[in-house]
Structure 1
Amino acid sequence: MNPSEDLIQKCLVEGQVKFYEYTRFKDIELIGEGGYGKVYRAIFKDNEITVALKSFKGNHVSIKEIVNELKLHCRVDMHSNIIRLHGATNNEDKQNLSFTHYMFVLEYADSGTLSSYLRNNFKYLSWYDKINFALQIASAIKCLHVEGIIHRDLNIKLTDFGLSRRLDEATNSNQKVGGIIAYIDPQSFEGSRRGNKIFKFNKKSDIYSIGILMWEISSGYPPFKDDSEPYQLASLIVDIKNGLRENHIEGTPPEYIKIYTDCWQHNPDSRPDIQQVFLRLKDLSDNNNHDINKIDQYFNTLKVHEPIHSVNHSNSSLFISDSTDKNLMQDSSSSLLNYDDIGDYEKRLLDLNKLLEIDPNNVKLLISRGEIYRIMNRYKDSLVDFNKSLEIEPDNAFALKNRGVAYCHLHKYEESLANFDRSLEIEPRDAFALKYVEILIE
């Protein structure tokens, strides 16, 4: 046994890490490879449990990494959001019989990366689920920081979904190099310029990464996903250093936005610590579940229909039939909540007002309330909501068409035509908008 192996054996004994003979594993399959080494999926013969075997490249630096990671696992192994270390094993190198490959036997997280999980399941997630994701990440990071460990040292998973995520997944040969840039503390891009000192990742670097991950959870896709090609990296790094961040996603709870924007501040001193992040997410989860679920339930009941409007043109003036307008909820591409009593507009309005108190910049809610106002002949009120929704989303064709109808009721035909023309630039084949334009220009 060489000195390196002695060091590993000593660490295994001191950490009371169980050693398993390599022959106790079967169906060993390579599932990942990177700068650190390789990861295999395997079946433990004794109980048919699926595990992950993580190997390290055989050099002196890697021996230190093995020992260091073993020590880290022993310190935080009981946390439910951190990949569990079952033990260790080894396998002789067939090309170099004097060398032994040591491997960790780890809990197998079968849902892949955060990005892949969100890509496959995002449409099924409520805001309660998303906040719970962020809370689990914060909980794991909090455990690590208490022990003086930063995230880049250990795997993190999200319980109940078997989800794992590493910020250093960029070492995986199957992932674009640019895919990791957005998660890295921008301070690291400037490290070489600060007295020729190499930047050292720290706890506030983890906080920045949490902010980016929280945004990814809110959107369902990675940040700057269209700017990750190699030729785009230099400009992306410069832009991020200069403060570029992704835009907020419609429907995101304002407090959630506030948390992740605080986390991704350029100045590390302006970022909260992990305890503050955890407590704010916990408060959001505990105190706002009812409000968040109301919004989720609202959007889960949205019914979208083809637009069917009854429009009459007589004596060079535009008239929209009352019967059609009062049934707009059923006959248009309406985003209104479907109540049993189709005429109960006041009740809808009260519900929408409450929801907009929770999320005042939610475009869907604004358009829905604007439609209610229009159906109730409160055209000026409807224009306020349509105007605000279009300030947030200037290219929302549905809001433009609704604003066009409202202007028609107010006999502002030029403004109405301008809105329908703009909507047709976005949706050129929209039958309802084409019909309106045809009548307006007669």
Structure 2
Amino acid sequence: MKILKNKIFKFLFKKKSSSKVPKNEENDKNDDINDINVSTNDKTINNKKDDDDIIKQMEKIIENYSKFFTIGKLNKDVIIDYYKKNGNFNTKGIDPYEMSNMFKLFDNCLECGKTNTYKYWCQECNSQRFQKDFSNWTSGNKFIDNFIQRSQLQARNNNEVMEWIPYNRFKDIKFLAQGGFSTVFEAIWLDGAIEKWDYENQQWCRQVHLIDNPDHPDSGIPVVFKSLDNSSDISEDFLYEWETWLKGIHKSMNDTTPFIQIVGITQDPDTLNYMIIMFLAPLGSLKSNLKIKKYNPNDKFTNLFNISRQLNAIHKLDLIHGDFHNGNILFFNYEYGLISDFGLCRPVESVASDDVFGVLPYIAPEVLRGKPYTKAADIYSFGIIMWEMVSGISAFHNITHDLSLSLEICEGFRPKIVKGTMPEYVKLMNRCWNNNPDKRPTADELSKIFEKWSDKFPIELDEEKRKPVPENESEVIYHPEAYYISRKIDYTNKINEILAQNELSDKIEILDDNIDDNDSLENYIIEDDYY
């Protein structure tokens, strides 16, 4: 078997560039490249430019696509021909896969000769390979089989592939954590994830950590299992949530937004519960990194920019996360925290649609009162995470997570602002956790604000220059009844009853310190001495 060294942690994350395309002076003096999907904004290139200049313009346009492809000799003629026929590079709304076909930016498949849909990946040929193998495996559940098969047939690249992985292909399985409706384990996946097709040996090349010999004791890829309670007879309805999420991940790649990858499903032979397989995040969750973020304050700007980008991608698809908290943001390096656990935050067995599940400090007041979970509720959770990035501790860690706290949250109780927090950050945080969901910013606005702040306060990635957590830093003591795993929050009726008695129902608003809630923070100037 041909094995490739592991490239799992080379996630190819790239911050969106603010580079600008040279403009047509007469018509486009004020246009910028702000987003890859609106890169050219109908810009035209001066017809007098020679072919080299045309290629340079195209290279500028695809700068944000650099993780997908580069311009090579074979496709320069295609690009020049396209420009000369159309007079411009109007790529508005075109995703990398459409663009690859338009400009032949990926190499051709060595088998069918058609343009690859990704580096070394031909969707048409690989889907046929997967389909031929369908009869050689089964999960024992027709819904899971169909789910995995659809992911394989629709995979435009190796990151979109899921597999059925026999339990005996894992070793060194260890308990990691207990969730509200699941148990988390870590293990070593002996085979590693599919990377590309080996034409010479007619088999899959796989990503294997460190050692090229699969029989070597140190070979394999570190992964985590999320074992779903009572999932031995998992339903199609529950899998629909995962499939919706996976479709969202596929579409998010259109603007190069990174998401955590689900690489496969397996089954515990003892409990018969099904287990979701994801790559192990080396740095753990945000919860375990909060102190590090406190002592490296510029981290929060870049981290929250990338998190807000992911949240924005979710919301653009009319999806919501529904269980957004510091345990569901996983770090593969200092720079990138990836949102996880969409669709995995409730019990597998069917529940009433108005039941509230989650981690109490992050649940928006309107949800606690029985209103539907919305995009604005995710934004409320984002505001709590903003506070944690500054404080270095989990919100409400030292008090009981009970009816009393739920009621206080509905009445406007929020974590105390940390002294020295820059005023603009406080204003934005207050907007995020406003009691009125209509007054909260959108994820799109958040991503634009944090993009500018991350440019002004760049993250320090040099290990020697980063500040360690002091050895004398006091340990955070959690209240024994402060729960940071998802669970059912069954206080809605009592909360509404109490608030109605106090004549506060539907009239409570958190004080915003005279903030103009409609005032955009995009262009705020931040003084250099604020961190």
TM-score, normalized by length of structure 2?
Answer: 0.46
Q: 1:261 aligns with which of 420, 430, 449?
A: 430
Give the Cα–Cα distance (whole angstroms) in 2 for the partners of residues 55 and 158 of structure 1.
21
Alignment of 1:183-262 (within 5 A): 183-191=362-370, 199-227=371-399, 229=400, 233-262=402-431
Q: CA deviation at 1:220?
A: 0.8
By relative contact order (CA 8 Å, sep 6+), the higher-ranking structure is 2
Which stretch has the larger CA shift, 153-162 or 131-140? 153-162
Give the Cα–Cα distance (whole angstroms) in 1 for the partners of residues 141 and 260 of structure 2.
24
Aligned-pair Cα RMSD in Å:
3.7
Q: CA deviation at 1:66?
A: 3.8
SS in 2 for 1:152: coil
Q: CA deviation at 1:82?
A: 2.7
**1:118 alignment counterpart:** 290
SS in 2 for 1:58: coil
**1:135 alignment counterpart:** 305
**2:148 alignment counterpart:** 12
Q: CA deviation at 1:65?
A: 2.6
Which residue identity lines up with residue 173 of structure 2 in the other structure? I
**2:330 alignment counterpart:** 157
Q: 1:357 to 1:205 in 2, by over 3 A?
A: closer
Q: 2:175 aligns with which of 23, 27, 30?
A: 30
Q: Does 1:84 align with 2:261?
A: yes
Q: Does the 8 Å CA contact 1:133/1:158 hold for their aligned counterparts? A: no
Which residue identity lines up with residue 457 of structure 2 in the other structure? N
Q: Does the 8 Å CA contact 2:163/2:265 hold for their aligned counterparts? A: yes
Q: Percent identity?
A: 29
**1:342 alignment counterpart:** none
SS in 1 for 2:141: helix
Give the Cα–Cα distance (whole angstroms) in 2 for the partners of residues 58 and 171 of structure 1.
12
SS in 2 for 1:151: coil
Q: 2:223 aligns with which of 51, 76, 81?
A: 51
Q: 1:222 to 1:33 in 2, by over 3 A?
A: closer
Q: Does 1:277 align with 2:422?
A: no
Give the Cα–Cα distance (whole angstroms) in 1 for the partners of residues 526 and 223 of structure 2.
48
Q: 1:115 to 1:37 in 2, by over 3 A?
A: closer
Q: 2:186 aligns with which of 25, 28, 41?
A: 41
Q: CA deviation at 1:200?
A: 2.2
**1:289 alignment counterpart:** 457
Q: Does 1:148 align with 2:318?
A: yes
Q: Does the 8 Å CA contact 1:81/1:157 hold for their aligned counterparts? A: no
Q: 1:167 to 1:27 in 2, by over 3 A?
A: closer
**1:297 alignment counterpart:** none
Q: CA deviation at 1:359?
A: 7.7
Q: CA deviation at 1:285?
A: 2.0
Q: CA deviation at 1:91?
A: 3.7
Count of matched residue positions in the alignment of Structure 1 and Structure 2: 278
Q: CA deviation at 1:130?
A: 1.5
Q: CA deviation at 1:22?
A: 1.8
Where structure 1 has 5 or more consecutive residues not aligned to the other structure, the ranges are 173-177, 192-198, 294-299, 301-355, 366-442
Give the Cα–Cα distance (whole angstroms) in 2 for the partners of residues 18 and 166 of structure 1.
19
Q: CA deviation at 1:89?
A: 2.2
Give the Cα–Cα distance (whole angstroms) in 2 for the partners of residues 107 and 159 of structure 1.
10
SS in 1 for 2:369: helix
Q: Does the 8 Å CA contact 1:117/1:163 hold for their aligned counterparts? A: no
Give the Cα–Cα distance (whole angstroms) in 2 for the partners of residues 251 and 109 of structure 1.
31
Q: CA deviation at 1:36?
A: 2.5
Give the Cα–Cα distance (whole angstroms) in 2 for the partners of residues 167 and 36 of structure 1.
12
Which stretch has the larger CA shift, 21-30 or 155-164? 155-164
Q: 1:30 to 1:163 in 2, by over 3 A?
A: farther
Q: CA deviation at 1:135?
A: 1.4
Where structure 2 has 5 or more consecutive residues not aligned to the other structure, the ranges are 1-136, 153-161, 192-207, 209-219, 348-356, 461-466, 468-524
**1:306 alignment counterpart:** none
SS in 2 for 1:42: strand
Give the Cα–Cα distance (whole angstroms) in 2 for the partners of residues 357 and 105 of structure 1.
42
Q: Does the 8 Å CA contact 1:145/1:203 hold for their aligned counterparts? A: yes
The superposition leaves residues 311-344 of structure 1 with CA deviations (integer Å, 9 ceiling, x where unpaired) of xxxxxxxxxxxxxxxxxxxxxxxxxxxxxxxxxx
Q: 2:281 aligns with which of 109, 116, 119?
A: 109
Q: 1:181 to 1:280 in 2, by over 3 A?
A: same
Q: 1:260 to 1:116 in 2, by over 3 A?
A: same
Q: CA deviation at 1:122?
A: 3.9
Q: 1:29 to 1:158 in 2, by over 3 A?
A: closer
Which residue identity lines up with residue 75 of structure 1 in the other structure? G
Q: 1:117 to 1:213 in 2, by over 3 A?
A: same
Give the Cα–Cα distance (whole angstroms) in 1 for the partners of residues 293 and 227 of structure 2.
32
SS in 1 for 2:273: strand
Q: 1:130 to 1:223 in 2, by over 3 A?
A: same
Give the Cα–Cα distance (whole angstroms) in 2 for the partners of residues 107 and 204 of structure 1.
29
Q: Does the 8 Å CA contact 1:86/1:106 hold for their aligned counterparts? A: yes
The superposition leaves residues 409-440 of structure 1 with CA deviations (integer Å, 9 ceiling, x where unpaired) of xxxxxxxxxxxxxxxxxxxxxxxxxxxxxxxx
Q: 1:216 to 1:132 in 2, by over 3 A?
A: same
SS in 2 for 1:256: helix
**1:385 alignment counterpart:** none
Which residue identity lines up with residue 289 of structure 1 in the other structure? F
Q: Which structure: greater helix fraction? A: 1
Which residue identity lines up with residue 296 of structure 2 in the other structure? L
Give the Cα–Cα distance (whole angstroms) in 2 for the partners of residues 183 and 101 of structure 1.
28
Give the Cα–Cα distance (whole angstroms) in 2 for the partners of residues 30 and 61 of structure 1.
23
Q: 1:148 to 1:170 in 2, by over 3 A?
A: closer
